[in-house]
Amino acid sequence: MKNIPIDTEFIKLGQLLKLAGATSSGVESKIFITEGLVKVNGDVETRRGKKLYDGDVVEFENESYKVIQND
């Protein structure tokens, strides 16, 4: 599992995939998310604007990414 640190209260799902390097653009993130290929905390998520907070875990293409709040 890769930790993805954020400096804000939350990050949107599409932004997280791009920040993590899992996708190369927001458009690419949108496509994968709307096709149901991304899970958040074990459940398929199809909204790219889904807000992710400290401790949330995203799964995509056999990788896991955990949101970590920077203090």
Structural domain that includes position 31: 10-64
d(CA 4, CA 22): 12
Residue 21 lies in a domain: yes
We report the CATH number of the domain holding residue 55 as 3.10.290.10
Angle at CA 60, nearest 5°, toward 70 and 51?
A: 45
Specify the pLDDT at position 18: 96
Chain segment 5-14, per-residue pLDDT in tens? 999 999 999 9
- The verdict on residue 28 lying in a domain is yes
Task: Please list, in sequence order, all residues whose beta carbon lies within 8 angstroms of the beta carbon of residue 38, skipping any fewer than 6 positions away.
Answer: 13, 17, 32, 44, 45, 58, 59, 60
Q: For the segment 43-56, what is each residue's pLDDT rounded down to a tens digit? A: 999 999 999 999 99
